[in-house]
Structure 1
Amino acid sequence: MSEFLENMEEENPNFANELPVPVYDLKKKIMGIADRLLDKSIDFDSISGSEMGTTVENNIPYMNKLIESVVFQAEREYLDGMKIYNEIDLKECILILNKILIEGCTKLENYHIRYLFIDEFQDTDDVQIEVFQRLQKAINADCKLFVVGDLKQSIYRFRGAKLSAFTKLKGNNSDGWDVHKLNINYRTDSRLLNLYDEIFKSMGSQGTLPYTYEKDRLSSEVCKEAKDEELLVCVPCHAKDDDIRYETIMGIIKAEKIKLEKLMAHKELKKEERTIAVLVRNNWQVDSVLKAAEKDGGELNIEIKTGGDLFQLESTIDFYKLVSALCNNTNPVYLANFIESNYTDLILDYAKLRGLSETETKKELVRVLDEFFELRMRKTWRKVVSEVYSQPVLFVLKQIYEALRPWKQYSKQFDGQKFYMSNYEYLLEKIIKFSRVDALTLNQINVYLGINILTGQRQMARTVEFDDKGIHIVCTTVHKSKGLEYATVILPYTDDDIGNTNKVKLEANYLESKMSYVVQFENKIRESNSNYCDPDEFNEQIAEESRILYVALTRAIKNCIWIKNIDDKSPISWGSILED
């Protein structure tokens, strides 16, 4: 990236000043394009410059050149570097397997494999489907595929999943398949399913959900304790006022908790039957609900099940602040950031610090840290810095972690503390894999963390499961709830405009010899190419949001409650679908 920018500056000395977006954001979005393509198992070598169309907005007219010169070239160099150490990236595994199968692989026949079982098939991309087909062929003619999936639950379009998955798998041999429908539901109240059916039929008739009454209607013999009027409930409120929205959410949770407590007094319930789930679309909404619960007095212990972003978790950010402070151990900015982390319970007097010179500020912050470490570790900040450079770095960092116990500051709840500790350990595992332990330096850790955090690298975090036999209140995204079930499902955000294509901040794909992309930067500057089609995206987005709503609704065992924003003016939203 730096080399590309330097070359552009040689051609135009004023290039840096004319760049319409921040360089750091440009780097972040460029890496995001690479991730979007890899998520869909797309081989960069298969994309040529002539297949990239032309820039549309022309805010960054050299965008295609940038992608070719930086994204594709960086990926090649990265993979070449991996090969030197006889390693492969997990994202490349499916691409490498596909190449092996294309070139021919005869030894698989010796294993005499009779069946290949594939679950959640609706979430596969085209390359993965081709791999399954070639794998079956390479094994032997008697090998059968056993495939399970539900197109109504296809919610991973950003990974390349399409509604044509089953059609593509069948190819020209659609008659050679036995198709069986699984329409019996063993968890959800039959009365609730009947109410859902009216919603799903309407979505199916509008073409937003692959649903027909004859083929897709779910039947059940389950009947739970909810009254008829409690099964599917709309709670209206003026949600343009956030305080009112969150008061409404907390009120609903408390009311449902009381009902469960009364039920549990005379009946033993499984964990899922005593779990209330607040399902949302985005991680920021999870954070908002948690903050609302804390503001409400902390009476409700809401468990988080966001998972997803290891490099954006507080455990990772806290660790980065510690490492950065040790690397820049006399810099006031890094010292203040560390003091504000969960590693300390200190509160800085910023009014006092503003009146000091930089030297005085540094001296004051070091004094604060000296006192803190003397109390907690019987050594000064200067001594800690000295040790981290003279002893094995991970040993010293672990000593600091265990002495300061940041998980205690992070959460007062046991599950929150376990979540923090589990992902701290996971982060260390990732760092150790990144470099040999005996050669690892503090600066290497700092650079590794900085790159992964600042560029928004995605890595699935660990989740922590526990059961204390009490009532569980969970807040998570719909994607994380897939495959799970809850007594009550609460949908607090049903007013988002699901047809707003401007919400798409970053997308890239390669289909039918055409690469398409759209990028919106932090300063609202947007760039896309001529292969990207907004009308197509509009229809695809509404259809996918409809499927996500289907998944959210069908997580409920007993009842579902959704909040209707009276002030909502969105042309199409989950709320408008539920009302129809």
Structure 2
Amino acid sequence: MLSVDLRRLMLLDEMEESEVRSLLDRLSEHLLTRAGRPRRRFPCRSSDYPSVVARECHIRAVHHIGPLFADVVAGYRRDLGVILARGVRRAYRIAEREYHRTLRAHAVLDFTDIQERALGLLRQMDEFAQSRYRLESRYHHVLVDEFQDTSRAQWELVSLLVQSWGEGIGIVQGAPIPPSIFVVGDRKQSIYRFRDADISLFNEATDYISRLRPGTPVRAAISQSFRALPELLAFVNDLCGSIDKRLHRSDAFRFDPQDRFPLDLEKSKPNSGQTTAHSDRSLLGIALGNDEASCASAIASEIDRLIIKESVRDPHTGVRRAIRPDDIAILFRSRISHREYERALSARGLPAYVYKGLGFFDAEEIQDLRALISFLAEPSSNFWAAAFLRSGFSRLSDEAIRVLAPEIASAITGNDEPINTELLSIQDRERFQLVRTGMSRWLKLVDWISPAELVDRVLNESAYLFETRGPRSPQAQENLKKIRELLRRIQNRGYITLSRLADHIDRLSMGGESNAVIDATGAVHLMTVHAAKGLEFPVVFVVGLSRGVGGVTPPIQVIPDRGDGSPLVTVWGARPEIENDERARELEETKRLLYVAITRARDGLYLGIVRRDKRVSPGRGSLAEVLPKSFIAKVDAITGTSRCVEWSLNDLSGALHRFRLCDSDDSPRSAQVEPAVASLEQPAPDDDFSPWSC
């Protein structure tokens, strides 16, 4: 059979597309791995061959044919990808045309349109245009901050505004003070490529400004940090200095000698009025776990300990005081990462605040309401019945749901009580009876009162707000208030059924709706690294370092800029060289993201890493993917008896960086948190600072 299929490869041009695909799939299963590489091992057993000689002959043949067949498959996928990419581009053009037609029909412009109109105006202005006169009379000095986040279109806008300054024309030339352009940025912090930020503009801007003022120095570096303690800066210097560099790339992460932070060791001395850091103490920490939940538990335990026992510099006065929950930030790359840490903090009675863009439709109370609304809209659905029984409205155990399955919906809504309820525990049976009674009453109201009014009634009659007590209570209650307001807004647009309301909420949940805004004072901050950019915190936990964000390459890739400013659509690896370059761009941005994350800390920095089988396995797009190999090796070598880890790079600073190891073995001390928080007004003694002691 295999030999017949191999001979048919010579007839691909004469075969139907479905036959070609079926043939290649059969051969791939035998000759290639799932990753598309030639097999080194084969699924056949020795008993499948008539003799040992036949088996060895077969293996040699497959080893010879495998690479050749892999090339055939790659060529087929490449050719098919080119054809499919044309169709995808055509679909995108149709969508773009319809999008702009809709904008014109409503007489509105989006942000890109406004930007393009402004550029068009500046490009087409002649020397004596009235608009040019007005612009030049208005702008004599230009300051561009956060230049690392500037797109090519935005830089062109700025350069056109100041173009006449270098040409020696325009009314600004006669001003008492010469015109000036001042650009401020840090290329190491360029992390907004998804918003078209172009790090290569740094060199272009330098050349452009140099031409405006020939012979005048136009570039100056500022490396002094007024934020972090010297021990943290030394770690940043060594870590970033040892990250793999690809200096041939225009978008490469650079950490040159002039980028290294100068270290003011006087800042660490006990008599300086700042936080001390003696040789036997560490401002660094590592939290390990076998999964994200255990890592989160270790971090929550360490935060509990910090709040009770340790002190930091006050950001405003510089005087040491006890650590408060809002001195601490937990940073992660992926938005899906915050739930484990929020739960772990809640389990220890520690308040947490999840920053904007995170978690509204993922919040437990919103998931509970979605389950309620969906089941009221579709009471015959076993799926939504199970979701409702597991929600905070019911709190039935998983075992109880298993007993009631598979006809869970009819068990709730049926006239007769299910026979198998006798198998439920006493607590589950009592709760299930309350659910049946309440749901019978609420389902009768579906067609009589509005959805928003029905939800309010269920919340009141079920005493659901009692379920939201605990550290998350303020956030949960604000989220409930927000969802109820949302229901009323949807309802006020016109008649809406519960079914349509449930569908609408499902569509909204696909977006990035933020949690309701509450006062973050007194709560641990949870946010993405992007949200933390420009902020600082006394203590920072950078978590989920090994958690990837990429995974398998999608079959359709849209590359916004392939290097010449134009976008590219590829399907199924049709342009591997460009896709590889895109992957390299993502890797460079990951290095910059790591730099931003670790430089948010003032007094203490922790790294949260998940190890599987006692080894760090960085996922694609993870921050651990760009960590130095020597550092990963140190983490891999940590044993259960370790309390400290030491890492150094003798070829750079020679400093020895000591990390405290965190675990979740300590018993929760949440009962002591409130007294600790209440005593924060008292300054910490000058000689008792011992944070992150090893």
Same fold (TM over 0.5): yes
- Tell me the equivalent position of 2:187: 151
Taking structure 1 as reference, are residues 335 and 76 closer, same or farther at Cα in structure 2, changes over 3 Å only? Answer: farther
**Cα pair 2:558 2:567 within 8 Å, conserved:** no
Q: What letter matches 1:372 in structure 2?
A: G
Task: Find the partner of 2:148 among 117, 122, 126.
Answer: 122
| Whole-Å separation in 2 of the counterparts to 1:324 and 1:441 | 14
Which amino acid is the alignment partner of residue 166 of structure 1?
F
Question: For residues 418-567 of structure 1, what are the structure 2 equivalents within 5 Å?
Answer: 420-421=479-480, 424=483, 437-439=492-494, 441-442=496-497, 445-453=501-509, 456-458=510-512, 464-468=518-522, 472-495=523-546, 502=552, 508-511=559-562, 512=564, 514-517=566-569, 527-530=572-575, 533-562=578-607, 565=611, 566-567=614-615
Corresponding position of 1:75 = 96
What is the match of residue 110 of structure 1?
Answer: 134
Q: How big is the shift at 1:561?
A: 2.7
CA distance in 1, matches of 2:454, 2:152: 47
Determine whether 1:249 maps to 2:320: no
CA distance in 1, matches of 2:89, 2:361: 27
Distance in 1 of aligned mates of 2:575 and 2:494: 48
Alignment partner of 2:231 out of 191, 212, 231: 191
Counterparts of 1:180 and 1:438, CA distance in 2: 57
Flag structure 1 segments of 5+ consecutive residues without an equivalent: 1-11, 19-53, 520-526
Distance in 2, matches of 1:101 and 1:428, equals 46
Indicate conservation of the 8 Å contact 1:121/1:149, yes or no.
yes
Alignment partner of 2:560: what SS? strand
Distance 1:76 1:448 in 2: 26
Paired residue for 2:627? Answer: 574
1:46-61 correspondence runs (5 A): 56=77
Counterparts of residues 279-298 of structure 1 (less than 5 Å)? 279-293=331-345, 297-298=347-348
SS at match of 2:445: helix
Name the amino acid aligned to 2:336: W
Contact 2:146 2:185 in 1 (8 A): yes
CA contact (8 A) 1:117 1:145 kept: yes
Cα distance in 1 for residues equivalent to 2:372 and 2:408 = 24
Letter in 2 for 1:558: D
Distance in 2 (alpha carbons) for counterparts of 1:405 and 1:194: 54
Task: Decide which structure has the larger Cα Rg and report it.
Answer: 2
CA RMSD of aligned residues (A): 4.8
Shift of 1:154: 0.9
**Matched-pair contact (CA < 8 Å) for 1:305–1:475:** yes
Post-superposition Cα deviations, 1:430-478, rounded to whole Å, max 9, x if no partner, equal x76xxx944463466555443343xx4445666544314xxx4333332
Q: What's the secondary structure of 1:86's corresponding residue?
A: coil
1:481/1:555 contact within 8 Å kept: yes
- Aligned partner of residue 186 in structure 1, secondary structure: coil
How far apart, CA to CA, are the structure 1 residues paired with 2:485 and 2:183? 33
Contact persistence 1:56–1:530 (CA under 8 A): no
Between 1:557-566 and 1:239-248, the stretch displaced more is: 239-248
- SS of corresponding position for 1:562: strand
Separation in structure 1 between the aligned mates of residue 262 and residue 325 of structure 2, nearest angstrom: 20
The letter of the residue matching 1:259 is K
Moved more, 549-558 or 81-90: 81-90
CA contact (8 A) 2:330 2:527 kept: yes
Q: How many Å separate the matches in 2 of 1:108 and 1:440?
A: 53
Give secondary structure in 1 for the equivalent of 2:236.
helix
Output the amino acid matched with 1:509.
Answer: P
Alpha-carbon separation, structure 2, partners of 1:214 and 1:310: 43
Q: Deviations over 1:192-215 (max 9, x none)?
A: 223322333333866463222225
Q: Normalized against structure 1, the TM-score is what? A: 0.69
Query: How far did 1:401 drift?
Result: 6.7
Contact 1:209 1:546 in 2 (8 A): yes
- Deviation of 1:395 (Å): 6.7
* Residue 476 of structure 2 is aligned to residue 417 of structure 1: yes
Q: In 2, distance between residues paired with 1:106 and 1:138?
A: 15
Does structure 1 conserve the Cα–Cα contact (< 8 Å) formed by 2:375 and 2:384? yes
Aligned to 2:158: 132
| Amino acid paired to 1:152 | K
Q: Give the direction of change, closer, same or farther, for the CA distance of 1:419–1:439 in structure 2 (3 Å limit).
A: closer
Report deviation, 1:107: 3.8
Q: Could you report, residue by residue, the CA deviation over 1:64-94 in whole angstroms, capped at 9, with x for unpaired residues? A: 2442343331232133223323344456554
The residue identity in structure 1 corresponding to 2:591 is S
Alignment check: 8 A CA contact 1:410 1:416 kept? no
Contact 1:370 1:380 in 2 (8 A): no
Residue identity opposite 1:516 in structure 2? L
- Rounded to whole Å, the distance in 1 between the matches of 2:234 and 2:604 is 12
Structure 1 residue 557: Cα displacement: 0.7
User: Which of 248, 255, 258 is the aligned partner of 1:211?
Assistant: 255
Query: Does the aligned pair in 1 maintain the 2:366–2:480 contact within 8 Å?
Result: no
- One-letter identity of the residue aligned with 1:214: Q
Letter in structure 2 aligned against 1:150? D
Structure 2 SS opposite 1:533: helix
Query: Deviations for 1:357-413, whole angstroms, at most 9, x for unmatched residues?
Result: 976664369997673379xxxx6332144322xxxx667667767877867645632
Q: Distance in 1 between matches of 2:89 and 2:333?
A: 33
Aligned mates of 2:122, 2:492 — CA distance in 1: 36
Q: Which amino acid aligns with 1:441?
A: I
Partner SS, residue 544 of structure 1:
helix
Q: Taking structure 1 as reference, are residues 411 and 204 closer, same or farther at Cα in structure 2, changes over 3 Å only? A: farther
Distance 2:245 2:628 in 1: 18
Go from structure 1 to structure 2 and tell me whether the alpha carbon gap of 1:80 and 1:249 turns closer, same or farther (over 3 Å shift).
same
Give 1:156 deviation, angstroms.
Answer: 1.9
Aligned amino acid, residue 298 of structure 1: R
Greater mean alpha carbon deviation, residues 275-284 or residues 353-362: 353-362
Contact 1:235–1:561 (CA under 8 A) maintained in structure 2 = yes
Q: Could you tell me how far apart the structure 2 residues matched to 1:504 and 1:255 are? A: 43
CA contact (8 A) 1:115 1:144 kept: yes
Aligned length, in residue pairs: 504
Q: What is the CA-CA distance between 1:532 and the residue it aligns to?
A: 5.7
2:342 is paired with a residue of what secondary structure?
Answer: helix
1:187 partner amino acid: R
Is 1:259 equivalent to 2:325 in the alignment?
no
Q: Contact 1:114 / 1:144 at 8 angstroms: preserved in 2? A: yes
Q: TM-score by structure 2 length? A: 0.59
Query: Which blocks of at least 5 consecutive residues in structure 2 are unaligned?
Result: 1-15, 23-74, 173-178, 269-274, 418-431, 619-623, 632-646, 650-694
CA contact (8 A) 1:122 1:163 kept: yes
The change in CA–CA distance for 1:269 and 1:138 in structure 2 (over 3 A counts) is: farther
Shift of 1:558: 0.8
1:421, distance to aligned residue in structure 2 (A) = 4.6
Call closer, same or farther: CA 1:305–1:407 in 2, change over 3 Å: farther
Change in 2 beyond 3 A, CA 1:302/1:132: same
Contact 1:126 1:165 in 2 (8 A): yes
SS at match of 2:97: helix
Are 1:304 and 1:476, in contact at CA under 8 Å, matched by a contact in 2? yes
| Aligned 8 A contact 1:275 1:487 in 2 | yes
1:382 and 2:444 correspond: yes
**CA offsets 1:252-277 (integer angstroms, 9 cap, x no match):** 3333333336999x966598896223
Residues 395 and 141 (structure 1), Cα distance of their counterparts in 2 relative to 1, 3 Å cut: farther
Q: Residues 211 and 440 of structure 1: is their aligned pair in 2 closer, same or farther, counting only changes over 3 Å?
A: farther
The structure with higher relative contact order (CA 8 Å, sep 6+) is 1
Q: Distance in 1 between matches of 2:293 and 2:371?
A: 32
Identical residues among aligned pairs (%): 17
